[in-house]
Amino acid sequence: MDVGIIGPGKSGKTTIFNALTGGKAGTEGRAGDGKDAHIGVAKVPEPRLKILADMLQPKRVVPAEVRYIDVGASLKSLITGKDIGGELLNHLSNADALINVVRAFPDDSVPHPEGSLDIERDISNMNMELVFSDLAIIERRLERIETSLKGAKPPERQAILHEQETMLKFKAELEKDIPIRSLSLAAADARMLAGYQFLTAKPLLIVANIGEEQLPGAADLEAQLNARQAQEKSRIIALCGKLEMEFGQLDEAAATEFRADFGLTESGLDRVIKQSYELLGLVSFFSTASGEVKAWSIPHGTSAVKAAGKIHSDMERGFIRAEVISFAELVKCGSLSEARKQGLLRLEGKDYVVQDGDVITFLFNV
């Protein structure tokens, strides 16, 4: 899973990036005009994976991963093409979801680019920039469609007209500041949408970057912002990026102890991952082949054969069946051999819908 990090200058994007990845990227002098991207990987916290590892004693334990891309330049400069090429915008276009970091912390030594703190204004401004990005894509596509229609023969003309109709529909909604992710789409339109990389179609997690002194009111701030800024496939959480970045440099035991001193029971990474999974509709399954226990993230509703393809294309191509047991059942049995003895390992075909927590061995032949 790739997640792009955006936000206005001086909002703490790189601080949040460091907090999530345990990185040490420089945070000075990146006022939204950087010409590079910071890329880092975070291991997905998964308590069930440790339980499976303790039970099965594999040689390797491999958690699922999330790749975070902190785009240094402002979205506005990417859209208008000022200062940089299209590579950074491609990072965002290829991302599965976006994080918009908005500044909530007061700091007179770091003036806000707009001259004042206003979380909802900054959220609205970024939403507008995302809309403008998609409108620019649609305008260019509509121009090409007009050209294509001039020489189109009847069989292909109908498909081109349908695409034109869909693009105009998206354009009309975007001009009303309605993101594409909020639309209810017919199956044909949804399939067409998959061919584009609209930014407003991506799930959006907004991180209000608060100061340490604001932690006691973080839950109330989240509730207020979510009530006023509610959108489909979008959510707002409040994090103290500076603290979380410091915690990220510590070992797990020390970080947990220091978090407790601040009344925090969950890491910022845990919260961001959890919200990202919910927004993307992801579930986890576990594979246990070749002396390795590994966690995988897939969209809810994924078939067994597609889940096999997540591990390796050969598994999808030569899929025979899947040997499945739920995590809860396996824990009750205490081992795979005991589960097999009790007849709890199910053989499922390619159309079986993988459930969250399934432990699967894929049988295949190529």
- pLDDT, tens only, 172-213: 999 999 999 999 888 888 888 888 889 999 999 999 999 999
For residue 11, give Cα distances in angstroms to 67, 69, 75, 350. 21, 16, 13, 46
What is the pLDDT, as a whole number, of residue 85? 44
The pair phi, psi for residue 155, each rounded to 5°, is -60, -40
Q: Which CATH architecture has domain 2-45+61-113+202-280?
A: 3-Layer(aba) Sandwich (3.40)
Mention every residue, 6+ apart, whose C-beta is less than 8 A from residue 206: 99, 100, 102, 123, 225, 229, 234, 235, 236, 237
Q: Which of 31, 5, 36 is nearest to 18 (CA)?
A: 5
What is the pLDDT, as a whole number, of residue 35? 62
Contact assessment for residue 319 and residue 305, using Cβ atoms and an 8 Å cutoff: yes
Describe the strand order of the beta sheet including 319-326 as a list of residue ranges.
60-62, 292-299, 282-287, 358-364, 319-326, 346-348
For residue 29, give Cα distances in angstroms to 3, 14, 72, 132, 343. 23, 11, 10, 26, 61
What is the pLDDT, as a whole number, of residue 83? 42
Element housing 213 (H / E): none
**Among 43-52, 69-78, 211-220, 236-245, which stretch is predicted with the lowest mean pLDDT?**
69-78
In angstroms, the CA 139 to CA 216 distance is 46
pLDDT in tens, 19-68: 999 888 776 655 545 567 899 999 999 999 999 999 999 999 999 999 99
Residue range(s) of every CATH 3.40.50.300 domain in the chain: 2-45+61-113+202-280
What is the pLDDT, as a whole number, of residue 258? 92
* Domain spanning 282-364, CATH class: alpha beta
3: which DSSP letter? Answer: E
Half-sphere exposure of 329 (CA within 13 A, CB side): 19
Half-sphere exposure of 126 (CA within 13 A, CB side): 25
What is the pLDDT, as a whole number, of residue 79? 62
Taking domain 130-200, whether its CATH number is 1.10.150.300 is answered by yes
Rounded to an integer, the average pLDDT of 137-159 is 89
